[in-house]
Amino acid sequence: MIEVRDLEKQYGNVLALRGISLEIPTGTAALVSGPNGAGKSTLLRILAGLTRPTRGRVAIDGTDPFGKGAAARRGRVGFVGQELALYGELTVEENLRFCAQLHGLDAAQTGGEFDPLRDLDLAPVARRRVQTLSQGYRRRASIARALLTRPEVLLLDEPWNGLDAEATRHLARLIAREREQGHTVVVAAHAVAEHAHLFNRVIQLEAGRLAGDGSASAEPE
């Protein structure tokens, strides 16, 4: 369960979020939509614990990502932002290994029933530097990095940017699978219509405020 109360974030003279309160129950696939500058990215970054809110509070399964005891639970939230959060000079494999080391996972654990390289078709480029990869592979590598810790909450910011048709189908399967496993998925995107069927809730932001909140028009079959 994600709880957000009176969330505000100020950047210099701009208020990116102007008091947002919402609750996202566990197992929800929520789409956060809205025009550019609505505060979607900021909201996701705060949920991921990357950006500290100016006011208000956040709790993910009862834990404040900026409070005591947050450190041990950081692996439960996976975040894919607009930046890759990968080292361009390192190979895909090295990046994933580093991330695994940070979270105390062995190579054996990550290679078992869940293999990010296989699941995201990254095997052919595993030994190439991230810098040299195409846009689509980069995004996939970034998603693999976020899934490495088997997060219960997955946050994706504009994940469709730079993905080809094949990768888009992949992403759809991935979101569906996360839902089946009872995980929470929150996706921020400005293009809603074509992907709406993946979600059971649509949250609309406008100028840092909640502009709409409801179940998606088209429920998955």
Partner 1 sequence: MSPPGPRIAMAVLGKDLLLDLRTRERLGHMAVFAALVVVLLGLTLPTSRAARSDWIPALLWIVFLFTSLLGLSRSFQAETEEGAVAMLIQAPCDRGWVFLGKAAANLIALFGIQLWTALLFGIFLDVDWGPALPAALGVAFLGAAGLSALGSLLSAMSMFVRFRDFLFPILLFPLVLPLLVFASRMTATALEGGAISGLAWSALALYDWIFGCIGYFVFDYVLED
Partner 2 sequence: METDLVPLLRNTLAGIIGVVLLAWFVSDEDRAIRSTRVTGPLSLILGVLWLGMVVFYAPIEKVQGIVQKIFYVHVPCVPAAYLGFLFTAVGGIGYLRTHKLSWDRVAQSSAEVGVLFCTLILLSGPIWAKPIWGHWWVWDLRLTSILVLWFIYVAYLFLRGLAFGSDTARTFAAIYGIVGTAGIPFVYYAIDIVQGSTLHPENPARAGLPPEMAWTLIVGILAFLVFYFYLTAQRLEIARVEEQVRRTLMAEQA
Binding site for partner 2 (CB under 8 A): 9-15, 18, 52, 54, 207-209
56-85: which residues touch partner 1 (CB under 8 A)? 66, 71-75, 77, 79, 81-85
Stretch that binds partner 1, among 56-64, 97-105, 119-127, 172-180 (CB under 8 A): 97-105
- The single-letter DSSP state of residue 111 is H
Shortest Å, Cβ 7 to partner 1: 15
Q: Which does 28 bind (CB under 5 to 8 A by kind): partner 1, partner 2, none?
A: none
* Pair 16, 44: CB distance under 8 Å: no
* Pair 2, 60: CB distance under 8 Å: yes
Q: Which does 10 bind (CB under 5 to 8 A by kind): partner 2, partner 1, none?
A: partner 2
- Token readout for 106 is 């062995």
Q: Which does 126 bind (CB under 5 to 8 A by kind): partner 1, partner 2, none?
A: none
Q: Nearer Cβ to partner 1, position 96 or 216? A: 96
Q: Is 67 exposed, middle or buried (0-12, 13-18, 19+ CB in 10 A)?
A: exposed
Comparing CA positions, the residue from 158, 120, 161, 155 lying closest to residue 141 is 120
Q: Nearer Cβ to partner 2, position 42 or 91? A: 42
Shortest Å, Cβ 95 to partner 2: 26
The residues near 1 (Cβ < 8 Å, ≥ 6 apart) are 23, 24, 25, 26, 59, 60, 61, 62
Q: In what order do the strands lie in the sheet with 153-157?
A: 77-80, 153-157, 184-188, 29-33, 201-206, 209-214
Residue selected from 99, 117, 147, 174 as contacting partner 1 according to rule CB under 8 A: 99
Q: Nearer Cβ to partner 1, position 25 or 98? A: 98
Shortest Å, Cβ 28 to partner 1: 22
| Backbone φ and ψ of 209, nearest 5° | -125, 160
Q: Which chain residues interact with partner 1 by CB under 8 A? A: 48-52, 66, 71-75, 77, 79, 81-90, 94, 98-99, 101-104, 130, 145
